[in-house]
Amino acid sequence: MLTTLLEQLRAAAPEARLQALQTLAMLEETDALSILGEMWKTEQNPELKQAIHQAGQQIHAAKQRGYTTVEGMAAAYRADLSPDEKDIEEKRKLAQIQTSINIEHARKHGGSEESRAMGEFTRRAATTTAIGMAFGLGAGAMMAGLTPAINTSHNLSDGTTEGPGIGKQPIIPPRPSDTNVNLWLKKLDNADAAVRRQALLQLRDLNNPAALNALGARFAIEPEADLRQLIQQIGKDIYFSALFWQDHDPSRNEQKINELRAKAQVAKEKRATQQ
């Protein structure tokens, strides 16, 4: 994603270069600073030269306060958190329960009509368990209410004891989409701030990186301070998601978070030595 924006800085069309500058300024992408410095020396277009200067100032200010993209991502996805022993044990027991259900299902029902009904139950059980875990309910409480045929361990969290829940583990961001966002991009220029806000929230939910340039352009001219802040936050959310999923295998989610944590620590230590 960053490579795409940096390549856009070298586009023949001045409009494309301006869009990239505005987007990089919105994202506060400190990795672009050296390239902006080189670009300022060679750019002949006065308007673009001024835009380079403004973008450089904004990004440099972000660098001065200690911001980097990798540290922003690490904070957004809570990469500093890791499952504790209770979380790991809870997941292990959940896996055991699901395996037991599958084995019992295959043994009792085989390929009969009843098997299909049982298969639907199993899927529903897995879904319900996932929802329960997302809201901090224990595996024991969820599974005990679903299947008395399986003897769940009394050591599983029953909802009254500490268990995995929201805010306790790293976040895996949603995959970027390629949903058409043109309708909402047009609404970014609406005179009504409420309409612009609605469009921004829709673009956040659609999570399509194709919206970044339009968000950057709006960020450059948005008169409402709260909307300007919202634009930047949504732009970064979309950008972070695109970077996370770039050439990423979902089976490596935990490894990816660990790598992000390590990179953020390196960036922090590097900044400390430069102060």
Q: In sequence order, what DSSP letters do the residues of 222-257 get, joined into one string?
A: ---HHHHHHHHHHHHHHHHHHHHHTT--GGGHHHHH
User: What is the structure's pLDDT at 55?
Assistant: 95
Task: Encode pLDDT of 115-173 as tens digits.
Answer: 444 454 444 444 444 434 433 444 444 434 444 333 333 333 333 344 444 456 888 88
Q: Where in the chain is the domain with CATH 1.25.10?
A: 2-67
| Residue 131 confidence (pLDDT) | 37
pLDDT number for residue 150: 35
2-67, CATH topology level: Leucine-rich Repeat Variant (1.25.10)
Identify the weakest region by mean pLDDT among 39-43, 185-189, 199-203.
39-43
pLDDT above 70 (res 260) = yes
Query: Of 64-68, 103-107, 164-168, which range is least confident?
Result: 164-168
Rounded mean pLDDT of 197-221?
Answer: 97
C-alpha separations of 20 from 28, 36, 115 in Å: 12, 11, 56
d(CA 89, CA 164): 10
User: 137-141, 195-199, 249-253 — which is least confidently predicted?
Assistant: 137-141
Using a CB cutoff of 8 Å and minimum separation of 24, what contacts does 96-102 make?
A: 97/129, 97/139, 97/143, 97/150, 97/152, 98/126, 100/150, 101/125, 101/147, 101/150
The H or E element spanning position 139 is helix 139-144
